[in-house]
């Protein structure tokens, strides 16, 4: 039987919080350790993020599915809405609330660890067609990867595969692959290396939603039905 909903929501909150703490905290550390070298800063930030993501999926996957991302939760609902597995629409909404609040909490924690104000308005403007296209591509690839694994019975590979994908997408997409509305919102509350100006958030989130739709369509094309033994991205039985 899957974990009770309150436990799953707590796992999504804490997992997303720790993920964003890793993203923002490593960004702050990178800027301090490697001032003036943006490439090295991005390398340090991306390595810390991909490793943290893999570990957090291992920790929380058996409890909540380790979504940490509203578009993953939305895809879980949509792709399994006709079956008994997957999230219901209300559950997906509650997952999103837990993820967004966790992302903000993670940013606050990272700011405080580095003796910064708990909440600061980011001034890092990230806008333009190229960046939006990068976010669409990053989110498309993430959705396709996650559900290709789960629908083909290879969900155990998710910690390594998702971490590796995000690490690669940091470097291959123009936007450095936020690919997550909750993380995007959380990063608006830090005026540091990983921040995004609040005015840039809507464009990123809209691009992520486009990537969600395109990714879900690709999953339905290539993996129209889960293979025998495959499970939805919720909690382990």
Segment 45-90, tens digit of pLDDT: 999 999 999 999 999 999 999 999 999 999 999 998 766 678 999 9
- The torsion of the CA quartet 70, 161, 103, 131, rounded to 10 degrees, works out to -80
Superfamily of domain 5-222: Glycerol uptake facilitator protein. (1.20.1080.10)
pLDDT of amino acid 218:
98
Q: What angle do CA 137, 24, 150 make, to 5 degrees?
A: 45
Tens of pLDDT, residue by residue over 97-116, are 999 999 999 999 999 999 99
Report the alpha-carbon distance of residue 18 to residue 53 in Å, rounded: 9
> At residue 140, does pLDDT exceed 60?
yes
Return the domain boundaries, the chain: 5-222
């Amino acid at each position: 039987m899957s974990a009770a909903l309150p436990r799953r929501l707590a796992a999504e909150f804490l997992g997303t919080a720790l993920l964003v703490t890793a993203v923002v905290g490593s960004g702050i550390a990178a800027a301090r350790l490697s001032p003036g070298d943006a490439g090295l800063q991005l390398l340090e930030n991306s390595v810390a993020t991909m490793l943290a993501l893999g570990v957090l999926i291992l920790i929380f996957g058996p409890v909540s599915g380790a979504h940490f991302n509203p578009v993953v939760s939305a895809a879980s609902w949509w792709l399994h809405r006709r079956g008994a597995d997957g999230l219901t629409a209300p559950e997906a909404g509650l997952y999103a609330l837990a993820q967004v609040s966790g992302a903000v909490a993670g940013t606050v924690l990272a700011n405080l660890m580095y003796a910064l104000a708990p909440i600061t308005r980011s001034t890092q403007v990230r806008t333009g067609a190229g960046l939006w296209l990068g976010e669409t591509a990053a989110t498309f690839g993430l959705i396709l990867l996650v559900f290709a694994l789960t629908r083909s019975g290879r969900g155990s590979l998710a910690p390594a595969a998702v971490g590796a994908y995000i690490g690669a997408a940091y470097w291959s997409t123009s936007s450095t692959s936020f690919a997550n509305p909750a993380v995007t919102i959380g990063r608006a509350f830090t005026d540091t290396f990983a921040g995004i100006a609040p005015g840039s958030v809507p464009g990123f989130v809209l691009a992520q939603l486009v990537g969600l739709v395109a990714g879900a369509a690709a999953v339905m094309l290539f993996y129209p039905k889960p293979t025998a033994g495959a499970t939805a991205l919720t909690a382990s039985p």
